[in-house]
Amino acid sequence: MACQEYQELISDYIDGTLELGEEARIERHLADCDGCRAVRDDLLQIVHFSRQLPLHTPSSEVWTQLQTKIAAERPTHFGSRVAAWVSRLKNLELNLSVPQLAASAAALLIIFSVALIISRQSAETPSASSLAGRSGTAGMNLLSNAEDQEIEEKIERLRESVEQRRVTWSPELQVAYDRSIRQVDQCLATCRQQLSGDPSDQVSKDLMRDAYLEKQRLLEGFTKF
Amino acid sequence: MACLRQTLEMTVTAQSSQTMTDLELVRAAASGDAVAFERIYEQHRRRVYSLCARMLGNVEQAEDLTQEVFLQVYRKIGSFRGDSAFTTWLHRLAVNQVLMHFRKRGVKLEHTSEEGDFTNVVETPLQSTRRISMVDRLALERAIAQLPPGYRTVFLLHDVEGYEHEEISSTLGVSVGTSKSQLHKARMRLRELLSKTTSNAGE
Amino acid sequence: MSKSRQGFGDACRAATAALSVAALGASAPYAPAVERPGRFERSYTPRGAAHFTLSNVSGDITVTAWGRRTVSVLAITESPAAIEDRVVGTDILVSVKQAAPTIRADFRIYVPANTSLSLKNVLGKINVSGVTGDIVVTSFESEVRLQDVQAASVEVRVTTGDIYFDGQLREGGAYSFQSMKGDIDLNLPGGAAFNLAARALSEKINLGEFAKGLTGVTKGAKMVSGNHLAGGPRLTVTTYDGRIVLHKK
């Protein structure tokens, strides 16, 4: 058997799936052949280190988005509405925030960017249809005033539910809640201000979206009390 | 979080204390315990995400798929019978999601000989002194990402995830022989890629 | 001979039965201390790396890693009865019931370093030191201080409060810090590689000595993103009203 044929069996040999007779034959060959031994040693190393590859951590976004989707599936009144809006919002802006994407792609992005295959695979690009039915302009005016209002209405309903409970809380808690809500609202106002000055300011848009999520977190957190 | 109104039937089988913990968590999660579900997510997210990321070679898609996997877990957890380890069940779910993703995109896993498929595998004594440097795990990850999807899938399932060829063959719908040969080709290709890396110092 | 074998078999069965009972009974056995007024004290011995969840309302929380295998919880509070604990496998869950007037509880917790933490609070300081397990801190009005931390995943989210992080970043890790109002200070080893995405709505982002090694930089009035050295663990930092400062250890 030529070296080429022996080498085809090396993986099976390493994995212990060769018949005893074949195994013996390969071992005899390996004893005499530097080249094939080099292949065996290299493959052993590859297998060994592959078993020790580190585990990578997904960004916290995965969990927050998952929660939103789960909330959308649950039959609660408020949860599903707000959640549905949030997940729609998220789907729309998935491809816009460059710094956001850069942040969420860990060392893996660097690794993958080197690979030829990866460069062929494009990230999910928004189909024209997902943005059609919005205002005509191509995806830049996602948080138009009409949507702003819709979002606010939904959060408002959540807030009403919390406010009803608020009276049963201790003064300390009420104050903490009031301060926190005021803080988030201030942040939202600042974002809106920046956006009115420059509607294409993607960073402010992302920050506003995140501020809405924070408001939702706040309200949901206090719903427990 | 509101509670799910879901009835749960679980068969209790003799378990080690470790699987006891998994079962308890699963039981709790299936009956609507949000904290238990969050724990399940935290315990298993890295493994699922790492698998998706390496299979897809794309971080954003991997995060989407990870989400999808756990959404499926959420939907199906009531049907987990405990007749296999939870990790096995979850893992199969993840692998199936990846394969579905590939199918949707028309990614071919069948790999027939094509350009880039090396023909010369014979090592001369001179070349045998060259060794691949494995200290650089980054290089290995990079090399894995450069494998064609078919090789990469089999390699990841066998060498990284620890599947046996029988399971790979039934999961991917290929013969055991194909699985074995794809694995070997994947390893040889990695060897080739990694030996290039060592010779390109300072990459 | 058959007699001794039978005896051995019986002993085995008895041992297995005892073990199963133990496993069923308490996977993370704990010993409640004698209740003293104004104190809630518990000690847990988890089998393996534990996950500790605390849901507090008002009060300071301090978690410190130590060399023992036990998780020790002490809460100073007027109403120890308002504190509940639950153990599920290696998960330890402690929560304080909400009541009016609000029950204040200050926690001093010691954990094995590899414990992962999920700390929830409304009002009060949160301090964590020496932990290597995953850390999630969510609160509303809290100053958060993470010291000497080597976790692979850290998530801190507060509405109002400064955040201070000192520690090492692990390969493949994800670290995210967000405050609506507060400064965020990160103290990292000079040679740390990371992918940064920093956003500060109102004030400056000061990268300090890390500015030098940053590549692939995207910079704007309110944001900076780029890779420090080879890149790697993701650092996501956001504040709406406050500064972001990176310090070199």
| Residue with the larger pLDDT of the pair C23 and C188 | C188
Q: How many CB atoms lie within 10 A of CB A221?
A: 18
B-contacting chains (≥3 CB pairs under 8 Å): A, C
* Residue A41 and residue A103 in one domain: no
CA distances from C172 to B49, B139, C135, C146 (A): 11, 14, 15, 20
| B/C interface, count of CB pairs below 8 Å | 32
Task: Provide the edge-to-edge strand list for the sheet that holds C116-120.
Answer: C83-88, C91-96, C51-55, C116-120, C135-138, C153-160, C174-181, C234-239, C194-200, C223-228, C214-219
Say what the pLDDT of residue C49 is.
93
Among all residues of chain A, which has the CA nearest to that of B195?
A: A42
CA–CA dist B4, C53 (Å, integer)? 22
Cβ-based contacts of A108 with chain C (< 8 Å): 172
B69 pLDDT more than 70: yes
Most B CBs within 10 Å, among C51, C90, C91, C120, to test the B interface: C91
Residues 6+ apart with CB under 8 A from C18: none
pLDDT bracket for residue B198 (50, 70, 90): low
* Residue A123 and residue A33 in one domain: no
**pTM higher than 0.80 for the full model?**
no
Domain residue limits, chain C? 1-26, 31-134, 162-249
Average pLDDT over residues B28-51: 89
Instruction: Please calculate the CA angle B109-B112-B118 and round it to the nearest 5 degrees.
Output: 115
Q: How many CB atoms lie within 10 A of CB A199?
A: 14
- Full residue range of the structural domain in which residue A115 is found: 60-223
Residue A157 tokens read as 């309903």
Establish if A151 belongs to a structural domain.
yes
Establish if A133 belongs to a structural domain.
yes
CB C90 within 8 A of CB C50: yes
* Residue A42 and residue A69 in one domain: no
| Dihedral angle, C-alpha C165, C166, C167, C173, nearest 10 ° | 20
In this complex, the residue of B17, B36, B39 whose CB is nearest that of residue C27 is: B17
C14 pLDDT more than 70: no
Establish if A106 belongs to a structural domain.
yes
Say what the pLDDT of residue C235 is.
96
Say what the pLDDT of residue A101 is.
40
**DSSP per-residue string spanning chain C:** -HHHHHHHHHHHHHHHHHHHHHHHH-SS-B-PPPP-TTEEEEEE--SSS-EEEEE-SBS-EEEEEESSSSEEEEEEES-GGGEEEEEETTEEEEEE---SSPPBEEEEEEEETT-EEEEE-SBS-EEEES--S-EEEE-SB--EEEEEE--SEEEEEEEE--EEEEE-PPTT-EEEEEEEES-EEEEE-TT--EEEEEEESSS-EE-GGGGTTEEEEEE-SSEEEEEETT--SEEEEEESSS-EEEEE-
pLDDT for A147-158, tens place per residue?
667 777 778 888
Establish if A159 belongs to a structural domain.
yes
Say what the pLDDT of residue B139 is.
83
Coil vs helix vs strand at A134: strand
B202 pLDDT more than 70: no
Shortest Cα distance from B108 to chain C (angstroms)?
29
* Residue A36 and residue A127 in one domain: no
Say what the pLDDT of residue B128 is.
40
Cβ-based contacts of B132 with chain A (< 8 Å): 42, 45-46
Average pLDDT over residues C126-143: 96
C241 pLDDT more than 80: yes
Residue C160 tokens read as 């109002």
* Residue A182 and residue A84 in one domain: yes
Query: Could you tell me what percent of chain A has a pLDDT over 70?
Result: 66
Give alpha helix (H) positions in B31-136.
Answer: 34-56, 59-76, 86-104
CA–CA dist A196, B163 (Å, integer)? 55
| Residue with the larger pLDDT of the pair A98 and B160 | B160
pLDDT for A92-138, tens place per residue?
444 434 444 444 444 565 566 655 443 344 333 333 333 233 333 33
CA–CA dist B147, B186 (Å, integer)? 7
Lowest mean pLDDT among A29-43, A94-108, B92-106: A94-108
* Residue A128 and residue A22 in one domain: no
Cβ-based contacts of B50 with chain C (< 8 Å): 172
- Note the maximum CA span of chain B: 70
Say what the pLDDT of residue B171 is.
87
Q: Length of chain A, please?
A: 225
Contact C199 A106 (CB under 8 A): no
pLDDT for A164-178, tens place per residue?
888 888 888 888 999
Task: Please check whether residue B60 touches A, CB under 8 A.
Answer: yes
Establish if A139 belongs to a structural domain.
yes
Coil vs helix vs strand at B173: coil
Amino acid at C95: S
| Dihedral angle, C-alpha A188, A190, A192, A193, nearest 10 ° | 160
Structurally, chain A folds into a number of domains equal to: 2
- Scan for tokens 């390996």, then name that residue: A30
Q: Omega of the bond prior to C101 within 30 degrees of 0, cis?
A: yes
Which domains, and CATH codes, for chain B? 17-104 (1.10.1740.10), 127-199 (1.10.10.10)
Residue B172, class by beta-carbon neighbours within 10 Å (0-12 exposed, 13-18 middle, 19+ buried)?
Answer: buried
Most B CBs within 10 Å, among A9, A10, A11, to test the B interface: A11
Establish if A55 belongs to a structural domain.
no
Distance of CA B73 to the CA centre of its chain: 16
Establish if A182 belongs to a structural domain.
yes
Coil vs helix vs strand at B86: helix
Task: Please check whether residue B180 touches A, CB under 8 A.
Answer: yes
- The H or E element that residue A65 is part of is helix A60-73
Say what the pLDDT of residue B32 is.
83
- DSSP annotation of B158 reads I
- DSSP annotation of B6 reads -
Tell me whether 0.85 is exceeded by the ipTM: no
Task: Please check whether residue C243 touches B, CB under 8 A.
Answer: no
Among all residues of chain C, which has the CA nearest to that of A204?
A: C201
Residue B167 tokens read as 């399971």
C-contacting chains (≥3 CB pairs under 8 Å): A, B
* Residue A94 and residue A204 in one domain: yes
Say what the pLDDT of residue A108 is.
63
Among all residues of chain C, which has the CA nearest to that of A180?
A: C159
CB B150 within 8 A of CB B108: yes
On average, the pLDDT of chain C sits at 86
Task: Please check whether residue B126 touches A, CB under 8 A.
Answer: no
CB C22 within 8 A of CB B4: no
| Dihedral angle, C-alpha C12, C14, C16, C20, nearest 10 ° | 180
In this complex, the residue of A98, A221, A224 whose CB is nearest that of residue C218 is: A98
- Scan for tokens 């590899």, then name that residue: C114
